[in-house]
Amino acid sequence: MRTFGVEEELLIVDPGTGSPMALAGALMSRLNPGKVTGHEAAGFSFELKLEQIETQTVPCLDHTGLLHEIRRGRALADQAARQHGARVAALATSPLAADSHTTPNPRYGTMQERFGLTVLDQLTCGLHVHTLVESPEEGVAVMDRIRDKLAVLIALSANSPFWNGRETGFESYRTQAWNRWPGSGPSMIFGGLPVYRRVVARLLESGVLFDEGMVYFDARLSRNHPTVEVRVADVCLRAEDAALIAVLVRALVESASREWRDGVDPAPVPTVLLRMAAWQASNCGLQEQLLDFGSFRPAPAREVVEALVDFVAPVLAEQSELGLVRAGVHRILAQGTGSQELRRSFREAGLCGAVGHAVRVTTEEPTEVPSQG
């Protein structure tokens, strides 16, 4: 069974006003004593903005272990935030308007100079799923074969209906804000590792991107781990939703690898259609229609999500995860995504109330956990 893990970007907020707080340095000093000047630290790291912090799980073998790791990272980050009168919230964008602060770091400083308002506005929080691959060649083959299905994960994880104090009309506005980066979005079919390496080299030679870390494809080869990194999801309001997305990603990776080994070619879907599918998922979430990943024509969101589960069902069944995935998907379809939860809280208590709800739910453990099998 492939190991997998996640990175979650969490917003640091004032529990009274709901506004973001630039306290990443203070949190890092408590979470990683003596190692606050470096960008990376075990389990936690700085992100682009001082109003956010990233948690990282260890590689896990199963859903139970990963969910425990996700909850542990959230709890530790929240404990550190409480020491400074703050809390952490799994919000993919800030519901309230705020001036954000770029983390002091030479690389981020260069990005600020080069990309201006894109960096100034880029207070967004995502969920990145890493899945082990045996080789870079396998990783590229996987990327070629999952690209047509990733928009469904945007819809399932949607958790950013507000932006700078306003209702956006989108379920995942983070997707819209994130895709302003020049290296972001769906990628072409590469057909093999040499082409992937050549495309990355050409992007860097263009001078627009100044390092490989800015190759923000929806799925990419990780620079630091032997993994495929899937980057399309909003950070999920609920930890169990984050674990569910990760299990689906791992099943997609395994299914794609088997297709590659069996000689099944990637679906020749034009990249422009993938952009349309991502836009539709970002706009509508699970509320209306998505683009079906087989035909790329509109279909009810429920049917598209269930089709994705059916597609990876053989792998999920082998790994004793099919029951928990079906139960988790059913729960999200019945109760709503993070965006739908936040909108309900907004109608009852305004934007500050929506942030308060997110704070409570971020580290909450449900009374019932879906059974495996």
Write the pLDDT tens digit of every residue in 224-243: 999 999 999 999 999 999 99
pLDDT in tens, 271-290: 999 999 999 999 999 999 99
Average pLDDT score, the chain: 94
pLDDT at 37: 39
- The answer, yes or no, to whether residue 126 has pLDDT greater than 60, is yes
| Tokens 């409570």 belong to residue | 360
Q: How confident is the model at residue 373 (pLDDT cuts 50, 70, 90)?
A: very low
3-class secondary-structure state, position 93: strand
In contact, 122 and 44? CB cutoff 8 Å: no
Distance of CA 204 to the CA centre of its chain: 24
Could you tell me whether strands 126-132 and 4-13 are parallel, antiparallel, or unpaired per DSSP bridges?
antiparallel
pTM, to two decimals = 0.95
DSSP 148: G
pLDDT in tens, 193-228: 999 999 999 999 999 998 999 999 999 999 999 999
pLDDT in tens, 256-266: 999 999 999 99
Give every CB contact of residue 9 below 8 A, 6+ residues apart in sequence: 47, 52, 53, 54, 124, 125, 126, 127, 235
In contact, 41 and 29? CB cutoff 8 Å: no
Helix (H) and strand (E) counts for the chain? 13, 12
For 310, counting Cβ atoms within 10 Å of its Cβ (0-12 exposed, 13-18 middle, 19+ buried), the class is exposed
pLDDT in tens, 143-159: 999 999 999 999 999 99
pLDDT at 42: 52
- The answer, yes or no, to whether residue 350 has pLDDT greater than 80, is yes
CA distance 45 to 322: 33
pLDDT at 120: 93
- The answer, yes or no, to whether residue 370 has pLDDT greater than 50, is no
pLDDT at 215: 97
3-class secondary-structure state, position 131: strand
- The answer, yes or no, to whether residue 51 has pLDDT greater than 70, is yes
CA distance 59 to 242: 15
pLDDT in tens, 309-326: 999 999 999 999 999 999
C-beta neighbour count of 261 within 10 angstroms: 10
- The CATH architecture to which 4-362 belongs is 2-Layer Sandwich (3.30)
pLDDT at 32: 75
Q: What is the mean pLDDT of residues 329-334?
A: 98
In contact, 28 and 55? CB cutoff 8 Å: no
